[in-house]
Structure formats: C-alpha cells, structure tokens
C-alpha cells in the first residue's frame, strides 16, 4: 500500500497572502476602491490563509504555521476593522490603523530574521514585506504620499509570494525544480 500524497498548505497560504496583498496595493496606488479588499481580506487572505496556516502544524513547519495563521488573522482583522468603521463599531481612525500597522511591522521583523535562514526567495519576500510595512507606517504618521510608494513596493512583495507558490506547484506538476528559490541569506 502506497503512502497517500499530501498537498503543501503553503501553496494556498501564499496564494491568499499574495492576491489580497496585491489588491490592497491596487487600491493604495489609486486604481480601484476598497470593496474587493474587504471581501477578499475576509475569505482568501483571511480564512483560506489562516486555515492553510493551521494545516502547517502537521507538517512540522513552525515558520509557516505562525506566518500564515498570523497574516490570515491580519487580513480578517483589517477587514473587520473597515466594516466596524462603517457600522460605528469601535471606530478606528487613521492613527489607530497606523498603530495597528506598527505592531504588525514589529511582528514581521521577527519573522524576517527567520526567513533569512530558509531560502533566498523567502528572504526577499520578507525583506520587501518589512519595507512595505515601514512605508505604510510612515504613510500613517506624517508622510501620506508614501502610501503610493508602499503600494508599488508591496506589489513586488505579493509577486514574490506568488513566485514561491509557483515554485512549489511547478516542481510538483513538472517533476523538477522549474523556478529556483535560491540559497538562504544566512547559513
């Protein structure tokens, strides 16, 4: 009896993280409104990524377990925060959202250190994500024009997440490593 093949939860986590991050940046640079960000944030960036994160537990991957579950919660919290503002439930001002982002920046900095030991593509993704969060922090505290800069920078972050997703999927379907992810930045 052959062992049943299991999927890698990271492909869903990276898909949801990448896509929802991408559409928020489409909004940040002024291409579209906020509506799709709220609903995708709840379902794909939120629920799907969080479930993928919880599934990482059984793979023994603590980095993925923490990162996907946490960023899934980030999107759910952000979407609920925006919905709460609409219904006057614990209304969050721009300053409040700014501090929310500062906390996520510090959290991301911790994971960024871990990412440097995994592989080059993940290290680059988290470096871009950390820079993006810092730009958004600055945009919320005195430099609003950086919202657009953060928008383009975080599009690169989302694209990198999709690159790693494609690396995993293509390696599976082609039977060889089509998209290399490179060596860790710290060994």
Contacts of 125 (CB under 8 A, 6+ apart): 115, 157, 160, 161, 164
Among 15-23, 49-57, 111-119, 137-145, the segment contacting another protein (CB under 8 A): 137-145
Q: Angle of helix 146-174 relative to helix 120-140, nearest 10 degrees?
A: 160
Does residue 147 belong to the site contacting another protein (CB under 8 A)?
yes
Whole-number minimum distance, CB 48 to another protein, in Å?
Answer: 22
**Hey, what are 63's tokens?**
């980095």
Residue closer to another protein (CB basis): 34 or 110? 34
Does residue 140 belong to the site contacting another protein (CB under 8 A)?
yes
| Binding pattern for the stretch 17-56 against another protein, x by CB under 8 A and - elsewhere | -------x--xx-xx-xx----------------------
Residue closer to another protein (CB basis): 27 or 111? 27
Quick one: which of 7, 62, 93, 180 contacts another protein (CB under 8 A)? 93
**Hey, what are 185's tokens?**
């930045």
One-character DSSP codes across 76-135: HHHHHHHHHHHTTSS---HHHHHHHHHHHHHHHHHHHHHHTTT-HHHHHHHHHHHHHHHH
Whole-number minimum distance, CB 178 to another protein, in Å?
Answer: 35
Count of alpha carbons within 13 angstroms of residue 40, beta-carbon side: 19
Does residue 144 belong to the site contacting another protein (CB under 8 A)?
yes
Binding residues for another protein, per CB under 8 A? 24, 27-28, 30-31, 33-34, 82, 85-86, 91-95, 97-98, 140, 144-145, 147-148
């Amino acid at each position: 009896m052959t062992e049943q093949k299991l999927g890698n939860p990271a492909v869903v986590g990276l898909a949801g993280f990448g896509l929802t991050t991408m559409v928020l940046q489409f909004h940040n640079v002024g291409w579209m409104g906020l509506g799709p960000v709220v609903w995708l944030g709840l379902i794909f960036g939120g629920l799907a990524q969080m479930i993928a994160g919880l599934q990482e537990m059984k793979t023994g991957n603590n980095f993925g377990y923490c990162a996907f579950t946490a960023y899934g919660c980030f999107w759910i919290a952000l979407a609920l925060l925006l919905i709460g503002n609409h219904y006057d439930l614990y209304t969050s001002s721009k300053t409040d959202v700014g501090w929310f982002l500062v906390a996520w920046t510090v959290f991301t900095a911790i994971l960024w250190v871990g990412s440097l030991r995994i592989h080059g593509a993940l290290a680059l993704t988290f470096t871009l994500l950390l820079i993006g969060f810092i730009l958004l922090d600055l945009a919320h505290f005195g430099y609003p024009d950086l919202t657009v800069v953060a928008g383009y920078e975080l599009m690169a972050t989302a694209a990198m997440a999709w690159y790693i997703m494609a690396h995993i999927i293509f390696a599976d379907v082609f039977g060889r490593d089509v998209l290399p992810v490179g060596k860790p930045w710290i060994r």
